[in-house]
A and B are shown apart, each in its own frame.
Chain A
Amino acid sequence: MQLIAMAGPVAAALTLAAGAAHAQGLVFTPGEDDRFSWPSYEAFAESHDLSGKTLDISGVWTGPDKDLVESVLAYFEAATGARVRYSGSESFEQDIVIAAQAGSAPNIAVFPQPGLAADMARRGFLSPLGADTADWVRANYAAGESWVDLGTYEDEIGAEALYGFFYKIDVKSLVWYVPDAFAEAGYEVPDTLEDLKALTERIAEEGGTPWCIGLGSGAATGWPATDWVEDLMLRREAPGTYDAWVSHQIPFNDPAVVGAIEDYGWFARNDAYVEGGAQAVATTDFRESPAGLFTFPPGCYMHRQASFIDTYFPEGSEIGLDVDFFYFPAYAERDLGRPVLGAGTLWAITRESEAAHVFIDFLKTPIAHEVWMAQSGFLTPFTGASPEAYATDSMRAQGEILTSATTFRFDGSDLMPGEIGADAFWKGMVAYTTGRSDAETAAQEIERRWNAIR
């Protein structure tokens, strides 16, 4: 019994010491290295004092990502004197709902996607971030209106407000290619989707295979095709149509959607355009599908996939040198600007406190973005953050795609109900890709399942 009684103070003393050590262990010394925007950070530090206050944060980031987010939080601690306790959970999505219902929610939660956050806002578990934050996002994020829309949800009585602050974004609208292979064959990076299609036709005519596409992903087989359709949807239709599609205000078999599916089919259902032929697309594992880029002669010249795919490139291949990417271009004739498809995480206040609001203000300082940018795996649409801070050229180029976007849309299948976005849509795309059903039938089947939701 005595042992337990002792353990409390000892543990507290230990964490205090760890917290203090943490605050000192800033990865980049403030004031040094002019890639970072130190002045705004110092101004923030001077105008905020939270000494003796604590801030609890829960999120999805675990492992190396936990260390990275804590390296950012350390700056908040150093600037304000507050103590931040971050806990990452593999089962965040269950934990946060339980914690909120039990009244023991952390001050701030990091959601992996908007769906659950919107759900929690509707149940009254989130606090609005305020109109000034909405204005700030509108003014300082590229495609700001898109980000405000993505973070705006209805509360219990149906009133809309901004609840989510987006932070750490992934870009999906990328086409990977091998610059050497392009140079050797005399191909050029296309600026428009028309050019991309012309290039596809030209490669096929010259005896090459333009694309590597793989939909295989075990039980999740088919999801890469949904990204294709979403990307094409943004390039064929106004963003409003995309939103109406994702929120089921227009049926899934609306001609606009069927058109986007058929456009995807233009690439994937042509035996001459895809490595291994259209039949192979459905069973080729998405992790193995980029392999064709790296063979000699090239198994294929292009691969459309999100930023994470470099993990599955052959060991030691250097982005920018051995392999590179370009923005999946938009149709010139449709004049829809530069839409970007992606995904990302967002911060929301799950329990009001002064520190929580100050923390949201901290996220508006460039340093809150630059510290992570300078390490790894972090893209931001915040135009005030210095692109110089990016650790690599390839991250900088991806960041630029994000900051030059005119529209940003979140991965649609992630926003649809689970049985649609994470089942029916996948299966429908597999059936369409293999030719078991045409675009109209596949879309109809998905629509039927969406209507069957009670």
Chain B
Amino acid sequence: MSPLLQGIATILIGVGGCVGYFYGANLLLDRVIFPPSGRDPGANISRANAVRPWLFMAPAMAALGLYLVYPVLGSFWRSLFNRDGGSFIGLGNYTDLAADPAFRTAVLNNLLWVLVVPAASTFLGLVAAQLTDRIRWGNIAKSIIFMPMAISFVGASLIWKFVYANEADIGLLNAIRAALGFDDPIDVIQIPFWNNFFLMAILIWIQTGFAMVILSAALRGIPDETIEAAILDGANPFQIFFRIMVPQITGTILVVWTTITILVLKVFDIVYTMTGGNFGTQILPSYMMSYMFKDDGRATAVAFVIMLIVLPVMVWNILQARKEMR
């Protein structure tokens, strides 16, 4: 069968199956299980209506259970075993993690990333959104700022590898240094502690565009009356921005902030391609990667730790998004 036919067949079976399920399930519920007849038709109708939502949600819940809940539980179970899954070692992988200085470095670095990247991206995005709304070539500026979003993390890392290159003829950073009269190129990727920030710059570069787009939409949603009133009251531009506009879009800012935070906790490509976790730049996902396919028990344990850290941020994010929607 040609791929086209396969595709069409898949769509037909999928859509037909869904329609068939809902139609059939409804029919079964209304005609067979709780028919609106017999001694008390009213009670049967209300019973059927109580069951109906569950019936309709069942496929989605089954899919979520299979692809989300089961893997989470399965991963936790797997993390209690040794490297090849052969013997049960309880929480051994977790106690080993706690004792591993490299793991602690990864946690601390991750903490640094979580504090710096979302804050910087959101702030820069907010400023960019406000400023580009005010100028004529704002849309061009917006497109340029947004463009890195379209680049993969690995691609972005490669670009920045050139920016940071240890030679003045290749590396932009060292070229600027050379132009300023320093004749020794520096390798910023190797400067202890600060190299983390040079890696973060890449993610900030990528994510600022995202923050800008969302926040720009939120800024446009602010009623003009509040700003006019502030102008009439003699507020200066800074006061208008920080006292009038920002408070009105706090919800959006928080959603953007937490969304980027979740991303930061997952991102590993940048560290993996830039340093491979060397020079003290390890973060949790890249730390996990160094065990993956080698010691699956340990790698799953790290994955579980990451999930535990992401979870509260996730919950907070959903609550905020809900509040926004009201």
Are A and B co-members of a single complex? yes
A386 close to chain B: CB less than 8 A: no
B297 x A219 contact (CB < 8 A):
no
A283 x B187 contact (CB < 8 A):
yes
Question: Bound complex: CA of A73 vs CA of B263, how far in Å?
Answer: 51
**Whole-angstrom distance from the CB of A226 to the nearest CB of chain B?**
14
B54 close to chain A: CB less than 8 A: no
From the candidates A283, A417, A423, name the one contacting B166 in the complex (CB within 8 A): A283
For residue B290, which residues in chain A have a CB less than 8 angstroms away from its CB? 419, 423, 427
For residue A280, which residues in chain B have a CB less than 8 angstroms away from its CB? 166, 187
Question: Bound complex: CA of A434 vs CA of B166, how far in Å?
Answer: 14
Assuming A221-B278, A430-B278, A430-B279, is B272 touching A279 (CB within 8 A)? Answer: no
B251 close to chain A: CB less than 8 A: no
Question: Bound complex: CA of A452 vs CA of B294, how far in Å?
Answer: 13
B239 close to chain A: CB less than 8 A: no
B218 close to chain A: CB less than 8 A: no
A282 close to chain B: CB less than 8 A: yes
**Whole-angstrom distance from the CB of A118 to the nearest CB of chain B?**
14
Select from chain A the residue with minimum beta-carbon distance to B167. Answer: A276
Question: Bound complex: CA of A434 vs CA of B280, how far in Å?
Answer: 12
B89 x A454 contact (CB < 8 A):
yes
B139 close to chain A: CB less than 8 A: no
A418 close to chain B: CB less than 8 A: yes
For residue A279, which residues in chain B have a CB less than 8 angstroms away from its CB? 187, 190
**Whole-angstrom distance from the CB of B167 to the nearest CB of chain A?**
9
For A283, A284, A426, A453, the residue with the greatest tally of chain B CB atoms inside 10 Å of its CB is A283
B294 x A423 contact (CB < 8 A):
yes
For residue B289, which residues in chain A have a CB less than 8 angstroms away from its CB? 219
Considering only residues 274-320 of chain B, those with a C-beta below 8 Å from chain A are 275-280, 289-291, 293-295, 297-298
For residue A217, which residues in chain B have a CB less than 8 angstroms away from its CB? 276
For residue B291, which residues in chain A have a CB less than 8 angstroms away from its CB? 419, 423
The interface bits of chain B over 75-93 (1 if a CB of A lies within 8 angstroms of the residue's CB, else 0) are 0000000110001010011
Assuming A279-B190, A454-B89, is B294 touching A417 (CB within 8 A)? Answer: yes
B278 x A454 contact (CB < 8 A):
no
The interface bits of chain A over 143-175 (1 if a CB of B lies within 8 angstroms of the residue's CB, else 0) are 000000000000000000000000000000000
For residue B100, which residues in chain A have a CB less than 8 angstroms away from its CB? 452
B96 close to chain A: CB less than 8 A: yes
Considering only residues 222-277 of chain A, those with a C-beta below 8 Å from chain B are 222, 276
B278 x A427 contact (CB < 8 A):
yes
B199 close to chain A: CB less than 8 A: no
A218 close to chain B: CB less than 8 A: yes
Considering only residues 160-217 of chain A, those with a C-beta below 8 Å from chain B are 217
Question: Bound complex: CA of A430 vs CA of B279, how far in Å?
Answer: 8
B145 close to chain A: CB less than 8 A: no
For B83, B190, B273, the residue with the greatest tally of chain A CB atoms inside 10 Å of its CB is B190
Question: Bound complex: CA of A453 vs CA of B84, how far in Å?
Answer: 11
For residue B295, which residues in chain A have a CB less than 8 angstroms away from its CB? 418-419, 453
For residue B273, which residues in chain A have a CB less than 8 angstroms away from its CB? 218-219
**Whole-angstrom distance from the CB of A58 to the nearest CB of chain B?**
21
Select from chain A the residue with minimum beta-carbon distance to B100. Answer: A452
Question: Bound complex: CA of A430 vs CA of B277, how far in Å?
Answer: 10
Question: Bound complex: CA of A434 vs CA of B275, how far in Å?
Answer: 13
Select from chain B the residue with minimum beta-carbon distance to A423. Answer: B290
B189 x A283 contact (CB < 8 A):
yes
B294 x A422 contact (CB < 8 A):
yes
**Whole-angstrom distance from the CB of B209 to the nearest CB of chain A?**
26
Assuming A279-B187, A419-B291, is B276 touching A454 (CB within 8 A)? Answer: no
Select from chain B the residue with minimum beta-carbon distance to A427. Answer: B278
Question: Bound complex: CA of A222 vs CA of B289, how far in Å?
Answer: 16
From the candidates A418, A427, A454, name the one contacting B82 in the complex (CB within 8 A): A454
Select from chain A the residue with minimum beta-carbon distance to B165. Answer: A283
New A-B pairs, 20, CB < 8 Å, besides A280-B166, A427-B278, A452-B99: A218-B272, A218-B276, A219-B276, A282-B278, A283-B187, A283-B190, A284-B166, A419-B290, A419-B295, A419-B298, A430-B278, A431-B278, A436-B280, A452-B96, A452-B100, A453-B295, A454-B89, A454-B92, A454-B96, A454-B297
Q: Using CB atoms and an 8 Å cutoff, list the residues of chain A in contact with chain B.
A: 217-222, 276, 279-280, 282-284, 417-419, 422-423, 426-427, 430-431, 434, 436, 452-454
Q: Using CB atoms and an 8 Å cutoff, list the residues of chain B in contact with chain A.
A: 82-83, 87, 89, 92-93, 96, 99-100, 166, 187, 189-190, 192, 272-273, 275-280, 289-291, 293-295, 297-298
- The 4 A-B pairs at the shortest CB distance, nearest first, are namely A418-B294, A219-B276, A454-B82, A419-B294
Q: Can you report 9 residue pairs joining A to B where beta carbons are below 8 Å apart?
A: A218-B276, A219-B276, A221-B276, A222-B276, A418-B294, A422-B294, A423-B291, A427-B278, A436-B279
